[in-house]
Structure 1
Amino acid sequence: MELIELLESSGITLEKMLDTAMELYIGENAGDVRELLEETMLRYLDDINVQSLLMAALLLEENFRVDGDPVNLVADELIGISIAEYIGGKMALFNFFYYDTKKPGVLSRLPPFLDDAIGGFIAGCMTRLFESEADWP
């Protein structure tokens, strides 16, 4: 089964990730941003390193039970940070904490490992997108 199918089986679709990302977007050309973000997300969903980290989060949710999101659990944050920084560099760390704190859209409904992994994915993709904003037509 492909990663996107596994995410969808957990209630995480590409559309929901795009909606979540755009919920905190402040700026013009939202339609253009969403289109470029979708391309960025699809590119990184095909990256073996991103796939590995997202799969780790999926497997942890399936096989490692925790009650709620305990404050002493940091492995979930480390997965999210790793994904964000891998895609968007150190600047993505700030976006990750923004999404992690606000928990917009689908993030508010996900268990601890997945909310941070998907939050890191969204943050990394948004950061990557705006790093190259000067190249936009």
Structure 2
Amino acid sequence: MDILNKLNIKIDELIDSALMLYVGEKNEIPKVKEKLEKIIIDSLNNPNVSVLLIAAFLLDKEGKKGNLPFNYHDDPNYIYVDEVIGLAIANEIAGTKAIFNFRFYDKHKPGVIGKLDREGYMFLDDAIAGLLAGCMSKVFEK
């Protein structure tokens, strides 16, 4: 959460972003929100998820300084490691189903994901998409 706090991203913003793509009964939203918050917190405490989020943050930091071996600001199509980070996070949280859900979040970029993308965070937007895709997939496991 420290990195997210540095970017002024709060847990409520993550929850709201995840729920923007929610398809289900409206009366279930409070229960889904409660479960989702717990899953997000648990996922952020997973060292594998945390390290991948840190990696995304540091890659964006270095990219903005021009220290990556490609033109970071162009977000070239041949660079896909940003999606790999998002996929790895989604998979770590909820397995194969989350990988499919990642594509949905990456494509639509709801809430904070779109905000990060517009602010030029090439890696972190995909990392957060993976986090939310994994967590929302986990919500509906049981």
Name the TM-score, length of structure 2 as normaliser: 0.87
In the alignment, structure 2 segments of 5+ residues that lack a partner are: 65-71
In the alignment, structure 1 segments of 5+ residues that lack a partner are: 133-137
Q: Decide whether the 8 Å contact of 1:58 with 1:113 is kept in 2.
A: yes
Q: Is it true that 1:85 corresponds to 2:97 in the alignment?
A: no
Q: Is it true that 1:21 corresponds to 2:31 in the alignment?
A: no
CA–CA distance in structure 2, aligned partners of residues 59 and 31 of structure 1: 35
Identity of aligned residues (%): 43
Using the TM superposition, give the Cα deviation of residue 6 of structure 1 relative to its aligned residue in structure 2, in angstroms: 1.6
Counterpart code for 1:45: L
Counterpart code for 1:31: P
* Over 3 Å off, 4+ runs: none
Q: Is it true that 1:7 corresponds to 2:4 in the alignment?
A: yes
Using the TM superposition, give the Cα deviation of residue 34 of structure 1 relative to its aligned residue in structure 2, in angstroms: 0.6
CA–CA distance in structure 1, aligned partners of residues 8 and 107 of structure 2: 21
Q: Decide whether the 8 Å contact of 1:76 with 1:117 is kept in 2.
A: yes
Using the TM superposition, give the Cα deviation of residue 69 of structure 1 relative to its aligned residue in structure 2, in angstroms: 2.5
Q: Is it true that 1:101 corresponds to 2:107 in the alignment?
A: yes
Q: Decide whether the 8 Å contact of 1:23 with 1:105 is kept in 2.
A: yes
Name the TM-score, length of structure 1 as normaliser: 0.90
Q: Deviations over 1:69-127 (max 9, x none)?
A: 22111010000000001111001111100000000101111111011000000000111
Which residue is equivalent to 1:70? 76
Q: Deviations over 1:34-93 (max 9, x none)?
A: 110000000111111111101100111111231142211101000000000111100111
Aligned residue pairs, count: 129
Q: Decide whether the 8 Å contact of 1:45 with 1:51 is kept in 2.
A: yes
